[in-house]
Structure formats: structure tokens, C-alpha cells
Amino acid sequence: MKIGVFDSGFGGLDIFRQIEKILPKYDFVYLGDNARAPYGSRSQETIYQYVTESLDFLFSRGCQLVILACNTASAEALRKVQQAYLPKKYPTRRVLGVIIPAIEEAVQKTKNRKIGILGTESTIQSEAFVAELKKKDSRIRAFQKACPLLVPIVEAGEKDQRIVNLSIENYLKPLVAKNVDTLILGCTHYGLLLNNIRKILAKSNRKILIVSEGKIVAKKLADYLRRHPEIERLLAKNSKRDFYTTDLTEKFRRIGGRLMGRKIGVQKVSLN
């Protein structure tokens, strides 16, 4: 059995790259639903449909455990997947999200209990981050900002740094004004803009800790496997990697290879 990693596009590769560093011996299957990205402006019903179709595919490829390396999917579909879809169709399989690990890290690190969240429109509207932050600490003040341009910028492989930085600066400004001391990058794509975000925050002369999900999710997954030996012992350890996308383009090969630090063989699949 394998570990699946799913995202609506390229962003999940940043998560997978970090997971691979910590768990190199395990077999993985990566799926990017690039043909239908971005998910951020879709309805909850459509996102749930896309996610379950993707899970059907990953489970058919022998995945015992799947990481939803997509905040929109985690915010809009994970609970229903865990409470309705899995018990009915795949009672022995497991699906985990990326929101809780980021929340736990932010709550642990904040000093003034003011936390900023950047996310897609759908993730921000769901208020999933706000709800989970309040569960951890009711004194937390959360400030959100939807960033509809950032996923398309990443997916397009935008080279003009002026465009990239102007967009990021526009989104960060209201959060900096709220005096947040911790910033959650609430979309896996945003980790690919981490250096840009750091440079722009440095100009604000505020010390703001950035919570980017890659390393955090990887560590939490390793811990999950230690705590669940009944799942861990089912997983194959042949260091095998399979990459799939619903829209195989030269851009996927180029950007995917750059993110993984090596050439990757990718197969195109249809999910519906």
C-alpha cells in the first residue's frame, strides 16, 4: 500500500517534497487536478465532487492513506470525506488534511495572539482556519485575506517579479496593519512564493513569523505513522514514486521538475 498526496495543481508538490525528505523509503502517488484548478472559486459541492473523484483514483492505485495537500479541499471537503465518504466506500482507508498542522504551529508560536491568514476565496469564506484557531485558543484574534490572484500566478509560472510582488504586497498590507505577529500561508501554492513574502514583510519592519505548511505537514505525517503502527506496517517501502495529472502539459513537467529538484515522469489521467 502507498501514501497518496493530492492537490488541485502544483502547490502540493511543495508539500510532497518536504514529506519525501522525512519519509524517503515509502511509496508515494501524487495527483494534481490541474485541468480543474484552481479550486478556490468553486462551490463547496463542486469541490467535494472533485475531491472524491480524486480519492477514488488514488485508492484505486493502492493508497492506504491520502494527504489532501490543498487547503481549499481540506476546508471545504475533508470533514464530509471523513464522516460520510470513507465510512461508506473505504472504511479502512484514511484521509488527512493540512489545516490542523498549520493551526497548531501558529498557536504555539504567536506571542500577541494576532494571527493573519492568506488563503483562496473559498478557504477564507469557509472560515475553517478561524474556527480551528478559536478551538485551540479562544483568545486568538484571526485576520483573513483572500488572495484570488496568487494561485493563477503560481500555476502560470509567472516570471515578472514586479507583478508577483505587487499582488503579494497588496494582500499583506491589511494584515500587517492589524499588527499580526504570525502569518499562516493557507494555501499550499503560497509556499512557492515564500521568498517573495519574506522580502515584502521585511520591508514592513515588523517581526512576523511565517507558517508555511510543507515542513510542518511532513513532520506531522511522520508522527501520525509512529502513533498508528497498524497503518504504518501496511505501507510499502520501496521508494517508488508515481506522478499523475489531469492536464499533462510541458509546463507541468517544467515546474514540477523544478519543484522536485529533478526530472519527474508524469502520466495524464481522467477522473470523471
Each residue's pLDDT, cut to its tens digit, for the chain (272 residues) gives 999 999 988 888 989 999 999 999 999 999 999 999 888 889 999 999 999 999 999 999 999 999 999 989 998 999 999 999 999 999 999 999 999 999 999 999 999 999 999 998 988 998 999 999 999 999 999 999 999 999 888 877 766 788 899 999 999 999 999 999 999 999 888 888 999 999 999 988 889 999 988 889 999 999 999 999 999 999 999 999 999 999 977 778 888 888 888 888 899 999 97
Taking the model in full, what pTM does it have?
0.87
Catalytic residue among 13, 51, 66, 70: 70
Distance of CA 119 to the CA centre of its chain: 10
Please tell me the predicted confidence (pLDDT) of residue 159. Answer: 65
In degrees, rounded to 5, the angle at the alpha carbon of residue 121 between the alpha carbons of residues 47 and 63 is 35
Is residue 87 reached through a cis peptide bond, with omega within 30 degrees of 0 on the bond before it? Answer: no
In whole angstroms, give the CA distance from residue 148 to residue 23: 33
With CA atoms as reference, report the closest residue to 69 among 103, 48, 98.
98
**42-47 long-range contacts, CB within 8 A, separation 24+:** 42/72, 42/122, 44/76, 44/77, 44/122, 44/126, 47/72, 47/73, 47/76, 47/77, 47/122
Catalytic residue among 187, 192, 200, 217: 187
Nearest residue to 73 (alpha-carbon basis) of 189, 163, 183: 189
Report pLDDT for 10: 80
pLDDT at 9: 83
pLDDT of residue 152: 85
pLDDT of residue 213: 87
Q: Is 187 annotated as catalytic?
A: yes
Structural domains of the chain, ranges and CATH numbers in brackets: 2-97+214-268 (3.40.50.1860), 99-213 (3.40.50.1860)
Phi first, then psi: give them for residue 226, nearest 5 degrees.
Answer: -65, -35
Q: How far apart are CA 86 and CA 127, in angstroms?
A: 24
- Output the pLDDT for position 165: 92
Interatomic CA distance for residues 208 and 183, integer angstroms: 7
Are 144 and 115 a contacting pair, CB within 8 Å? no
